[in-house]
Amino acid sequence: MIELVLPPTNEELEHARRVVARFVDPTPTVTISVRGRRVFVKLESLQVTGSFKIRGALAAIDAAHREDPTGAVITASAGNHGLGIAHASSLLGVHATVVVPENASAAKVEKLSKYDVELLQFGSSFDDAQALAKRLAEERSIRFISPFNDSDVIAGQSTVFDEMLFQAPEIEHVVVSVGGGGLISGTLISRDAHGRSDIRVTGVQPEESAALYHVLRGAAMSDVVHRPTIADGLAGGGDEGAVTNELVAKSGIELVLVPEVEIRHAVREIVEVNGLVMEGSAAASYAAIATNRVDDATSRIGFIASGRNISHELLIELLKHP
């Protein structure tokens, strides 16, 4: 059964802005060199949990807590959303359960284990973990918080571009890495809410795991083949009938695919040229700009550095052999 989720209302957007502003300091938008080109980058990699996901988690948990002050929440995650839920639940005093796949990033699982949450590892994919989380939510009569198919989560993610637009109002094109589509949906909503439909938005997915790209071209979500990628935060994301699918489809924006080798090279290049650490999910957007896959050589372009949670072992490997 497909759960009907609607786009965030104005009230949900305003609530998200308030709760995010209460707990999260704005991250900077800076300029870096991408193969000699000046590019804006919104450093969500500096968040306390290492990714932008803390925003949507705060908005959703605070909304759930207002509905039921004694209630708990549960989620499924490839890692970063789970960290956001764990941190937000500690700030708001809500009990949380986080279900991750058994093959989730070791770096993210280690960070999760330090929080006072019920941490469960189940299955070999995000879909497996999500199926268990939804079943437990029903059995326990608690709220399931999707990493992307949730109006409060999308509202929380919209605050990323709210800040970016305030910090770099001259931006003309923003590139956003896409998994389930929560961040790009929030970006589109924020752009339009600020009356800036003139700003071009492009989504980026790894070639090895690009559910939304293929679904928008007529494929069934269940038929999309997923292969391993270092952009694990984007891997396997997507639900059939998710509101994010609808929002991206209606926007008419372009989605581009980036080969795995280019994402690996990008992680190394970002460190060597700019002294920044970004996980593969963030580096996918950098790679799309660096290789001109976004087909834009003249406008003021930028991207969202969505996270930094890459294992030390993988980072060292990529620095030696990208």
Indicate if 205 and 305 belong to the same structural domain: yes
**pTM of the predicted protein model:** 0.96
- φ/ψ of residue 266, rounded to 5: -65, -40
Q: What angle do CA 317, 238, 173 make, to 5 degrees?
A: 75
Mean of the pLDDT values across residues 277-290?
98
Indicate if 92 and 236 belong to the same structural domain: no
Confidence tier at 185 by pLDDT (50, 70, 90): very high
* pLDDT above 90 for 106: no
Q: How far is CA 88 from CA 36, 111, 164, 196, 211, in A?
A: 39, 14, 22, 30, 28
pLDDT for the residue numbered 2? 56
Mean of the pLDDT values across residues 154-167?
98
Indicate if 112 and 82 belong to the same structural domain: yes
Confidence tier at 108 by pLDDT (50, 70, 90): confident
Give the helix/strand (H/E) hosting 76: strand 73-76
Strand partners, 12: none
Indicate if 167 and 36 belong to the same structural domain: yes
* pLDDT above 70 for 1: no
Mean of the pLDDT values across residues 9-24?
98
Least-confidence region, from 110-114, 234-238, 241-245, 260-264: 234-238
Indicate if 164 and 44 belong to the same structural domain: yes
Structure tokens that stand for 82 in this block: 């789970």
With a pLDDT cut of 90, the percent of the chain lying above it is 87
Q: Within a 10 A sphere around the Cβ of 128, how many other Cβ atoms?
A: 17
Distance CA(119)–CA(86), nearest Å, equals 10
Distance CA(76)–CA(122), nearest Å, equals 10
Mean of the pLDDT values across residues 131-140?
96
Q: Is residue 182 in some structural domain?
A: yes
Indicate if 183 and 272 belong to the same structural domain: yes
Q: Is residue 254 in some structural domain?
A: yes
In this structure, are residues 156 and 9 in contact, taking their beta carbons and an 8 Å threshold?
no
* pLDDT above 90 for 104: no
Mean of the pLDDT values across residues 68-76?
92
Q: Is residue 3 in some structural domain?
A: no
Distance CA(204)–CA(218), nearest Å, equals 18
User: For strand 118-121 and strand 301-305, is the pairing parallel, antiparallel, or unpaired?
Assistant: unpaired
Structural domain harbouring 69: 54-144
CATH code of the domain covering residue 192: 3.40.50.1100
What average pLDDT does the structure give for the chain? Answer: 95
Mean of the pLDDT values across residues 211-239?
90
Mean of the pLDDT values across residues 188-203?
97
